[in-house]
């Protein structure tokens, strides 16, 4: 897969709001098959598209990349022979790989998660300002001038700033969909009246914020928008992920009995069935070595 193909594939994943990791070789100490600039995409199911070295280094990238994806943190991964592993260094995850032929690789694992998705209903000055401030925060803002109440499954917030137009229907739909933050731009008195009319249970009422925004003395549309963005950030810090957000699966791991590597168990992981037990390997080479002389390695199972 060429770099152009990888860039197109990455754009496709972003458009689908699919999380992934970009793994880029930034340093290679011979002998290694990978070279600086080699790149691959790691998907949540463990699939690797592209090239970052042989099967052993690819297995390490898969296992560590999935950990970083679950944590939401990018890092520099150093893959090196076990006897070359030095003391821990800030910003670097070092993994001793017994399968390497003596060289080492530094691979930057860049976690790419979809930005927070926020719907803003209404065509008012506050609605327009909120869309601008949210985009400045790096969020994906979807302005809805009309009264369409549909939202994507991984929506993080819905804010209604329509000054009364169809707000009951939009709010009720967002709350029923499980959106973590639902805000209504209204006076305290009118907001309380709308909330009472919705007939909400306690859990839904907790997710409904009206007047929307933190109390910072905001008056102008831009100031109100800033207060709403701040409240969404505060709410998101203590709230679970949206119900439709991509799930970062904790893939099971196993130890290769031949080389001792920790491998992530995916559909692509090399394996062998022995006496009713499935044994996993970092690469077909280790699998074949095990198959040729199982007794030599079964003590490690």
Rg (the chain; Cα; Å): 25
Q: pTM of whole model > 0.85?
A: no
pLDDT at 270: 86
Element counts in the chain: helices (H) and strands (E): 9, 15
Phi, psi torsion values for 282, nearest 5 degrees: -75, -25
The DSSP bridge partners found for residue 76 are 92, 108
* pLDDT recorded at residue 284: 84
Go through the domains of the chain in sequence order and give each one's CATH number.
3-112 (no CATH), 117-238 (3.40.50.720), 253-300 (2.30.170)
Q: What is the pLDDT of residues 145-186, one digit of tens each?
A: 876 768 899 999 999 998 877 789 999 999 999 999 999 999
pLDDT for residue 5? 92
Nearest-angstrom CA–CA distance, 76 and 106: 7
In angstroms, the CA 128 to CA 146 distance is 13
Strands (E), the chain: 20-29, 39-42, 48-50, 75-80, 92-96, 104-112, 117-121, 140-144, 157-160, 181-184, 208-209, 253-255, 262-264, 270-274, 277-281
3-state secondary structure of 246: coil
Q: What is the predicted pLDDT for the residue at 246?
A: 57
pLDDT at 241: 59
Residue among 49, 41, 221, 206 nearest 127 (CA): 221
Residues of the chain with pLDDT under 50: none
Nearest to 138 by CA among 125, 152, 156, 122: 156
């Amino acid at each position: 897969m060429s770099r152009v193909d990888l860039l197109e594939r990455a754009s496709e994943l972003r458009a689908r709001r699919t999380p992934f990791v970009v793994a880029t070789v930034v340093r290679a100490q011979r002998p290694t098959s990978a070279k600086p600039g080699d790149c691959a995409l790691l998907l949540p199911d463990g699939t690797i598209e592209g090239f970052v070295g042989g099967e052993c280094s690819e297995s390490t990238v898969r296992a560590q990349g999935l950990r970083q994806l679950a944590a939401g943190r990018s890092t520099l991964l150093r893959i090196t022979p076990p006897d070359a592993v030095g003391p821990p260094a800030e910003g670097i995850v070092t993994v001793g790989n017994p399968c390497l032929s003596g060289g080492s690789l530094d691979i930057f694992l860049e976690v790419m998660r979809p930005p927070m998705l926020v719907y803003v209903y209404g065509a008012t000055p506050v609605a327009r300002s909120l869309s601008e401030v949210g985009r400045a925060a790096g969020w994906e803002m979807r302005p809805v001038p009309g009264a369409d109440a549909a939202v994507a499954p991984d929506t993080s917030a819905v804010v209604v700033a329509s000054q009364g137009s169809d707000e009951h229907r939009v709010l009720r739909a967002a709350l029923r969909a499980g959106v973590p933050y639902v805000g209504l731009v209204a006076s305290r008195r009118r907001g309380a009246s709308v909330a009472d009319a919705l007939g909400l249970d306690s859990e839904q009422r907790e997710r409904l914020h009206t007047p929307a925004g933190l109390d910072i003395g905001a008056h102008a549309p831009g100031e109100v928008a800033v207060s709403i963005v701040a409240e969404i950030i505060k709410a998101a810090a203590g709230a679970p992920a949206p119900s439709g957000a991509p799930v970062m699966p904790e893939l099971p791991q196993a130890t290769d009995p031949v080389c001792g590597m920790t491998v992530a168990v995916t559909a692509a992981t090399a394996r062998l069935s022995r006496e009713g037990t499935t044994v996993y390997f970092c690469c077909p080479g280790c699998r074949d070595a095990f198959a040729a002389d199982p007794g030599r390695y079964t003590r490690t199972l």
